[in-house]
Structure 1
Amino acid sequence: MTEPLWTLEAVAAAAGARLDGEPRPITGLSIDTRTLKVGDLFCAIRGEARDGHDFVRDALGLGAGAALVAEERAAEFAGLGPLVLAPAAGDDPVLAAMGGLAAASRARSTARIVAVTGSVGKTGTKEALRHVLAAQGPTHASVASYNNHWGVPLTLGRMPAASRYGVFEVGMNHAGEIAPLTRLIRPEVAVVTTVEPVHIEHFRSIDGIADAKGEIFAGLEPGGVAILNRDSPSFERLKAHALASRAGRVIGFGEHPEADVRAERIVLRPDLSIVDASVLGVPVTYQLGTPGRHTALNSLAVMAVVRALGADLALAALSLAQLKPPAGRGERTRLALPGGDALLVDESYNANPASVRAALATLAGVAVTGGGRRIAVLGDMLELGPEALRLHRDLAGPVVEHGIDLVFTAGPMMHELFEALPTARRGREAPTSADLVEAVVEAVRHGDAVMVKGSNSTRMGRIVEALKARYGSGAADPTRSAAQPG
C-alpha cells in the first residue's frame, strides 16, 4: 500500500491549524476541483477572480480527503467532511497555512533540492532536470509553471517524503517576489538561465531584473551552488549576488571560454541537437531530443546541476536524448492536409523578444519540401513597458534573416511588426487570436511548417487547437512529414 502524502494531524500541526472531523490519510493537494483527485486535501485559496471557498462543497462531494479553509468560514461547511481550519493570518489564511505545510515538507525531506529561475528557459530547464534526475531516483518537480506565491507552496506540499530529488521553478513579475519563495524551497543548487527584458515595465532597467533574479540565492543552503549563464551580460552582477549569499561555489555555463560547463561544439538539426561539452573538465558528448540553440545552451545548465548534485553524468547524457518538448513549448505535431502533411510547432505558452527570436531561429532550421513555407503566427508580447512597440517592430529583422516566408499577427502591438514586414511576407493581421483562427487554418497547406507563439493572455493556443481539430493530429514523424527535416 502506498504511504499517504500526509496525515490530517500532520497537516494541522504544520499549518498551525485546527482539525475538525474524522482524520483521513491525504494522498495529494489540490486548489482546483477540475483536477482534484479522490483523497486530495482541497486548499481553498483566494484567486484573482474566485474564492476557493466557493468550491469547498464540490470538492468534498468529489471525494476530497479534507478541505483546508479559513476558520471564520468553517460554519458554512459543517458536516460535509473533515476540515482543517486555518486561523486568521494576513490577506489569505489558507495560503498562509499552505506556507506552513510547505515549510514542514521541506524540513522533513532528505531530497537534494534545485531551484530554477530566469527570464527565458526556466520551465524547459526545470522539465529537463525532472527528466534526467527521474532516471536516477524518485524526483518531484513543479507542475507546468507553478512558480509563484501559491505554486511554490503547493509544489512543496505535494513533495513525497521519499523523494530523492526536488526541482522547483521560481518566477516573478516584480522585485521582492522570489526571495520569500526561495527561502521556503531552501535549495542546495540555484540556477539562473538568463536575464532578458521580460516584465521590463515593472523595472527601471535590465539590471533591476538581474537583481530580482538574484534573489534566488537568498534561500540557498550554506555551501550551496549557484549556476549562472556565463554568456549573459548580467553574469558579473548575478555572481555578486551569489557571492553575497551562503553559496560555496559559482559555476558558469555557456560558450564563453571561461565557462566551467562549456559547449565546445553544438550541431543543430531540425529535430534535435548534438552537444560536445566540457563539464568541469570532463568531456561529454550527448544528443538532445529538443531542437534549437537556446535549448542546447540550457542543457549545459542541466549538466552543471547534475555534476553539482553528484549524480551520474553519463546517465544524464543518455537521458537527454529522450527529452521531448512539452505542449506550448515546442511540441511538434503532424497535420494531415489534402495532398500531404504539414508540421505544427506549438510555442504558444508564452512570449518575449528573446524567446520569439529563438523560436524563429528554430523554425528556420525546419526543412520544408514540395513548395512548403515557414509560417510564423505571433501574438502580442506583454509587460514590455514603453519600448514595447519598438521591440515588436524589431522582430522584422529576425523574420527576414531566418527566411520566414509568411507571418500572421494577433494584437495591437504585433500590428507594428506586421507593418514593418516586407509586403510579400505579410499573411494576415487581426485584433485578437480568435479573429485570426480561420485565416491561419485556411492558409496552411501541405509541406508547410507553422509555428505559433504569443504571451499567455493572447490565447494563441486556440489557433493550435483549431489546426489540430481541422486537420487531425499526431506526434510529429519526420519520416512521414512533408516538412521533413533534411
Structure 2
Amino acid sequence: MTAPVTSAIWTSSAIAAAVGGEASADFEVGGVAFDSREIGPGDLFFALKGEQSDGHLYVDDIYTAGGAGAVVSEPVDGPHILVPDTTKALSDLAIASRVRTDAKIIGVTGSVGKTGTKEALFAALNRASMGKSHRSVKSYNNHVGVPLSLSRMPAGCQYGIFEMGMNHAGELAQLTRLVRPDVAIITAIAPAHIGHFSDVEAIADAKAEIFQGLTHEGTAIIPYDSDHYQRLRKAALRHTKKVVTFGFDADADVRAIDVVPAQGGGSLVTASFRDDGEGDRSLCFTVAEPGKHWVSNALAILAAVRAVGGDLASAGLALAELQGLDGRGRRHQIELKQGEPNTGRALLIDESYNANPVSMKATLGQLARENCGGKKIVILGAMGELGDQAQTYHEALADDIVASGAQTIILVGDEMAYTSAKLAEIVSEKLDHTPEISHVAGSSEALTEVAGEIGDEDVLLIKGSNYLGLSKVVTALVGGEY
C-alpha cells in the first residue's frame, strides 16, 4: 500500500466501487485531475481519451510527479483502477461524490458573470464555514469540468458551488442532473453563443435547463430585471415552487434600494430582503468590484446565501474583500519602462478572458466612469460565436467605445473590421475630436501598437474573446516585457 495521503478524499476501494472498476492496489488520493500537468503528490489521474489526445500517453509522467494512482482503460505499470471507459468513470465518480455529501449544493450559470459569481459565492460561504466550502476551479464548467469538480469535493463539506456553462441546447440539462443543486442561479441572459441559437429566447431556454436538476424543494434564483424574466420564471416553476428574484426593481425579492460609489472604488449598497416569515430586513455592504453588473451579481449571491441558511453578514464582508480574477476584471498597476513620455504608472484592467455584447457594454460603461489622470486606452478583441449577427453586434460596439471616452482604440480580430468602419463613420460625422484607431490581426500586433502609447496615469482596458490570446498582452505589460 502506498503512503497515506494527508486529507484524503477517496480511497482506491471507494473509487473502484463508484466507477465499477478493478483496483490494482490499495491507495488514497487527495485530489483529482485529468490534465497530467496539474498532477501533484497524492493525486488521482483520469486518463481520458479524446479526438486528439489520449491521457494514457502521460501515465508515466503522473507517477513521476507523485500521483497516487490512475483511472485507465488499459493496464499500466503503477497503482491504477481499470475501467472500460474513463470518461464514464469520471461521471460515475462525480455521481458518487454528490450522493455521499450532505453539503448544500449551489449551481451557477448565465451568459455573463457566472465565474465571478461562483468565486464570490465561494468566498462568502467559505468565510462563515471556516474553510468547509468547495467550488469548481478555473472555468471547469463543461461535460468533463463539472464531473471533475464534483469528484474533487471532500465528503465533509458544508457547501459546494459549481459553475455550469453551455453553448448548445441540452448541455446544461446533462450537467445539472450530475450536480443536483439545492439552489440554481441564473446571473443574466445575453446573446453569448448566439451563433448556435435561433434567438436570445432560445438562449434563455437553454440556461433555464439548470432548473431540471434541482433537488426536492430546491430554490431557483433569477434576475427580475431581465427581459426574459417571465420565461425564466415559468421554466423554474416546472421544477420548484421556490423562485427568488434579485435586481433593482422594487418588486424583486432581493433588491438594491441604494447604490453609491464606495471610497476607494466599488459600490456601497443597501439591499432589501423580502419577508421570509421573519419580517423584511436590509443589509448595507460594500462590493469591491466596480460596476452595476457587480452589484447585480452581489444580489444574486446574497439571495443564494440566504437560501442555504448562510451568514449574510459574513457574505457582505467577503464581498468587500473581493479581488478581480485574472482575465475577468483584475486590476494591475504597471510600471512603465519605455522612457519619456512613457514613464510612471498606469492602470491595466484585465478582461481578456471573454467577451460578448452585454459584457462589452458593461465593461466599457464602467471605463467611462473611471477617474483618469491620463488618457483612456482600449484593446478590444472580436466577440466570437455570434453567427450571422456578428456584423450587427460589432457595429453596435462602436457607440459604446465612443461613450467610454477612449482616446486610443486598438481593435483585434477579423470581425472588428465592422467596428473600425463604424467608428470611422461616427468620428467623421459626430465627434469634434479624433481618437487614434487601429485595427490589427492578433495579440502580438496589439502589443506592438500599445507599447509606445501608455503614459503615466493612463487607464488601459483589455477585453476580448479568449481565442484571440489577449492574455498574452496582459502578461507582457504586467511583466514589463514590451
Which category describes the TM-score, using the shorter chain as reference length?
over 0.9
Which deviates further from its counterpart, 418-427 or 49-58? 418-427
Aligned to 1:328: 327
Tell me the distance in 2 between the aligned counterparts of 1:373 and 1:49.
46
Alignment-derived partner of residue 62 in structure 1: 65
User: Offset at 1:428?
Assistant: 2.1
Which string of whole-angstrom CA distances, capped at 9 and with x for unpartnered residues, describes residues 193-229 of structure 1? Answer: 1111111111111111111101101110011100000
Deviation at 1:271, TM superposition (A): 2.6
Following superposition of structure 1 onto structure 2, how do residues 439-454 of structure 1 map, counting pairs within 5 Å? 439-454=449-464
Aligned residues of 1:146 and 1:152 also touching (Cα < 8 A): yes
In the alignment, which of 169, 176, 184 is matched to residue 175 of structure 1? 169
Unaligned runs of 5+ residues in structure 2 are 275-279, 337-341, 429-433
Deviation by residue 1:265-322 (Cα, 9 ceiling, x = unmatched) = 2224573111111022311111011111101111000010011111111221122111
After the TM superposition, which of the residue ranges 192-201 and 57-66 deviates more from structure 2?
57-66
TM-score normalized by structure 1? 0.92
The residue that corresponds to 1:462 in the other structure is 472
Residues 96-135 of structure 1: pairs in structure 2 closer than 5 A: 96-135=88-127
The code of the aligned residue for 2:257 comes to E
Q: Find out whether 1:157 has 2:151 as its counterpart.
A: yes
SS of residue in 2 equivalent to 1:397: helix
CA distance in 1, matches of 2:389, 2:49: 34
Aligned structure 1 segments of 4 or more residues deviating by more than 3 angstroms: none
1:434, CA displacement in angstroms?
2.1
Q: CA deviation at 1:248?
A: 3.0
Given that 1:279 and 1:303 are in contact with CA atoms closer than 8 Å, whether structure 2 keeps it comes out as no
Task: Give 1:400's aligned residue.
Answer: 402
Aligned ranges 1:330-345 → 2 under 5 Å: 330-337=329-336, 338-345=342-349
SS at match of 1:470: coil
Contact conserved, 2:376 with 2:406, CA < 8 A, in 1? yes
* Residue number in structure 2 paired with 1:84: 81
Are the aligned partners of 2:221 and 2:243 in contact in 1 as well (CA < 8 Å)? Answer: yes
> Aligned with 1:232: secondary structure?
coil
Alignment of 1:251-400 (within 5 A): 251-268=244-261, 271-280=265-274, 281-337=280-336, 338-369=342-373, 372-400=374-402
Measured against aligned partners, the alpha-carbon deviations of 1:400-440 in whole angstroms (never above 9, x if no partner) come to 22222221011010121122212722332111122221111
1:135 match: secondary structure: helix
Q: What amino acid sits opposite 1:16 in the alignment?
A: G
Q: Distance in 2 between matches of 1:49 and 1:128?
A: 35
Map of 1:483 onto structure 2:
none
Unaligned runs of 5+ in 1: 88-92, 473-486
| Separation in 1, partners of 2:314, 2:135 | 19
CA distance in 1, matches of 2:438, 2:467: 20
Distance in 2 separating the partners of 1:268 and 1:428:
33
Distance (Å, rounded) in 1 between the aligned partners of 2:306 and 2:407: 42
The residue number in structure 2 matching 1:50 is: 53
Pick which of 357-366 and 98-107 moved more. 357-366
For the Cα contact (< 8 Å) 1:336–1:471, is it kept in 2?
Answer: no
Contact 1:190 1:226 in 2 (8 A): yes
CA shift at 1:48, angstroms?
A: 5.2
Matches of 2:59 and 2:6, distance apart in 1? 26
**TM-score (structure 2 length as normaliser):** 0.92
Match of 1:221 among 209, 215, 222: 215
Instruction: Kindly state the Cα deviation for residue 251 of structure 1 after the two structures are TM-superposed.
Output: 0.6
CA displacement at 1:231 relative to structure 2: 0.4
Query: 1:477 matched to which residue of 2?
Result: none
Aligned partner of residue 34 in structure 1, secondary structure: helix
* Separation in structure 2 between the aligned mates of residue 25 and residue 128 of structure 1, nearest angstrom: 31
Aligned-pair distance for 1:471? 6.7
Q: CA deviation at 1:445?
A: 1.3
CA contact (8 A) 2:394 2:418 kept: yes
Separation in 2, partners of 1:217, 1:426: 47
> Secondary structure, in 3 states, of the residue corresponding to 1:378?
strand
Separation in structure 1 between the aligned mates of residue 357 and residue 52 of structure 2, nearest angstrom? 29
1: distance between equivalents of 2:435 and 2:55? 47
* 3-state SS, counterpart of residue 255 of structure 2: strand
Counterpart for residue 339 of structure 2: none
Residues 1:248 and 2:256 aligned together: no
Partner of 2:181: 187
Distance 1:160 1:285 in 2: 33
Give percent identity, aligned residues only: 43
Aligned with 1:232 (options 206, 226, 229): 226
CA displacement, residues 342-381 of structure 1 (integer Å, 9 cap, x when unaligned)? 0000000111011111111121222111xx1111111110
- Tell me, in whole angstroms, the C-alpha distance in 1 between the residues paired with 2:444 and 2:49: 29
Provide the C-alpha distance between the structure 2 equivalents of 1:339 and 1:28, rounded to a whole number of angstroms. 45
Root mean square deviation of aligned Cα: 1.4
